[in-house]
A and B are shown apart, each in its own frame.
Chain A
Amino acid sequence: MPAMTNRKLPSDKLIALGELMKKVAVDRDKTAFASLFDHYAPLIRAYSLAREPGSDLVADELVQEVMTRVWLKAAKYNPRLANLNTWIFTLARNCRIDYLRRNSRYVTEIDPTDIFNDMEDDGPGPFQLAQQTRAEESIRAGLEELPREQCEILTKVYLEGKSHQQASEELKLPLGTVKSRVRLALKKLEVLVER
């Protein structure tokens, strides 16, 4: 399990980052971009290292890919669709999927670009959710109260990028247990939509 800290990101910090983002999008401000880099590059590296511990080159490549997209797609970023942290997470995830596909031993022609959208204005199914910050705070609080084994499984899936099958092999648990643990964790975090 990668090291975790309970470092909180206060929402005024997020607002400040949002202001920098606006400067990048509107004024093509490189100083603002450098500040965004200073904040996000270490997190993107940590995300990459969670999947491939020790691979500094891979981590740097991911930083370069994600921050390149931030620069190029800045004008398309819509803070009402996703806050900046979520946008960076989806970009990092999408870049990692791309990287793994290009470097996989068994190639596939499936192009992930149109499968995972980068949460842009022209993406499919935009949902503008109010109270985004509140939702994020409640997820953050929920994660802290999650039983250890549920937190562990979410970490495996989200940060280490393990499939349910791989997680079941590593944790020596039946596949069904892995799936139900994920489901229980999501229920506790109250992120499952009622239907």
Chain B
Amino acid sequence: MDKPQNHPFGELLAAYSAGSLPLSQALCISAHLEHCDSCARQLQHLNRVGTELMQQLTPSKASDELKNRLLERLDSLEAETPRHESARVDSSIPRCLRQFVDSSYGGLRWKRISADIHSVELCRDSNGAKVELLKIKPGGSATTHTHLGDEYTVILEGSFSDESGLYRKGDFVVKDKNDKHTPVATRDSECICLAVTEGPIQFTGPISRLLNPLIRRSYA
């Protein structure tokens, strides 16, 4: 497998390691990590930073009552814990996405956005960010757009290119509101991406611009 060439910045991985990243962004980092040995190794170093910072805190004594209550419960803990068997899924689906994708990408309820693009919304984050999968047909193009907030993309299948380069499976891409881009899927296969958008995207074409008020409304 080709190694991803586009990685999250160190400070974003640190925020993931610290647990201070919005869950929607953490989802993208996690999907990237499954493809990227180098970031997984980096994460281990970053977890050690958190570990050492925690060790430097001034300990705050726990009560004996808390300890005894827990000790008394130990025997019954195992019985209380539900065992959930992991369902059989397409192993190419990242572990972090299996909560949304039951068996395969094909089984999802894709909605047609344009002749070239289908999408399926997976959920919203508590900060309002939209988490969705996008599917671009081989050689297909997304309308030129900008964003009102940041957009995080991880390529899950296939590849696409835009004004700034070629992105392949596992690549992690962030676009901010100043980046205007037109992604085009490569011709040999369809491209499936995980996309998190913090605010609605803005179409910049003369006709597609008319869609902007409608799209904004779906974020209200």
By a beta-carbon cutoff of 8 Å, the part of chain A in contact with chain B is 2-7, 9, 30, 33-34, 37-38, 41-43, 45-47, 49-50, 59-60, 63-64, 67-68, 71-72, 82-83, 85-86, 88-90, 92-94, 96-97, 101, 104-116, 124-125, 127, 129, 135-136, 139-140, 143, 154-155, 157-159, 161-164, 179-180, 182-183, 186-187, 189, 191-193, 195
Contact = CB atoms under 8 A, between A and B. Distances in A.
A191 B49 contact: yes
Contacts of B18: 93, 157-158, 161
Contacts, number: 217
B14 A193 contact: no
Contacts of B37: 125, 127
What is the interface of chain A mostly: helix, strand, loop, or mixed?
A: helix
B54 interface: yes
Given A42-B59, A143-B56, 13 more contacts: A2-B58, A4-B57, A42-B60, A47-B57, A68-B77, A96-B19, A110-B125, A116-B30, A127-B40, A154-B53, A159-B54, A191-B48, A192-B10
Nearest to A83: B51
B112 interface: no
B78 interface: yes
Nearest to B26: A115
B12 to A, nearest CB: 8
A50 B18 CA distance: 13
Nearest to A111: B99
Given A7-B56, A50-B57, A127-B41, A108 B10 contact: no
Dominant secondary structure at the B interface: helix
A115 B77 contact: no
B10 A7 contact: no
A127 B95 CA distance: 17
A84 B9 CA distance: 28
A33 B74 contact: yes
B74 to A, nearest CB: 6
Contact of B20 (A105, A110, A157): A157
Contact of A33 (B17, B63, B66, B71): B71
Contact of A93 (B30, B50, B55, B62): B50
Contact of B48 (A6, A101, A136): A136
B109 interface: no
Contact of B58 (A5, A86, A88, A96): A5
B59 A155 contact: no
Contacts of A125: 33-34, 37, 40
